[in-house]
Amino acid sequence: MAQSATGSIFQPVAIPVVSLRELMPWALFGGLLMLLLIYFVGAEQGATSLVHGRVIHEFVHDGRHLLGFPCH
C-alpha cells in the first residue's frame, strides 16, 4: 500500500516564547530546592545537623557516598 505524497501537508511548529520574567520564579524555586538537597546529602550530620537524630543521615547515606561526600 503506497501512500501519496500529496496527501500529507507539513505544518510549521510554533516554538513558544517564554520571557525571563515568567521563568525566574521557577528557576529560583529549582535553585533553592537543589541547595536544600545538597545540604541534606552533603552536610546533614554531626555538629551542623538541623534535624535531631540520625534519620536523615541514614536515609541519604548511600547517595552521599555515590556523590563523593565523606561521612565517616
Q: Which region holds residue 68: left if phi is over 0, alpha if psi is between -120 and 50, else beta?
A: left
5 assigned to some structural domain: no
pLDDT computed for residue 10 by the predictor: 84
2 assigned to some structural domain: no
pLDDT computed for residue 22 by the predictor: 94
65 assigned to some structural domain: yes
13 assigned to some structural domain: no
The three cell numbers of residue 30 are 529549582
Q: What is the total count of domains within the chain?
A: 1
44 assigned to some structural domain: yes
Q: How confident is the model at residue 30 (pLDDT cuts 50, 70, 90)?
A: very high
**Is the pTM for the entire model greater than 0.85?**
no
pLDDT computed for residue 3 by the predictor: 56
CB neighbour burial string for 27-50, b if at least 16 within 10 angstroms, e if fewer: eeeeeeeeeeeeebbbebbeeeee
The three cell numbers of residue 39 are 545540604
Cα(37)–Cα(46) distance, rounded to whole angstroms? 17
Which residue range is the domain that position 60 belongs to? 20-72
| pLDDT tens-digit map of 1-22 | 555 556 678 888 999 998 999 9
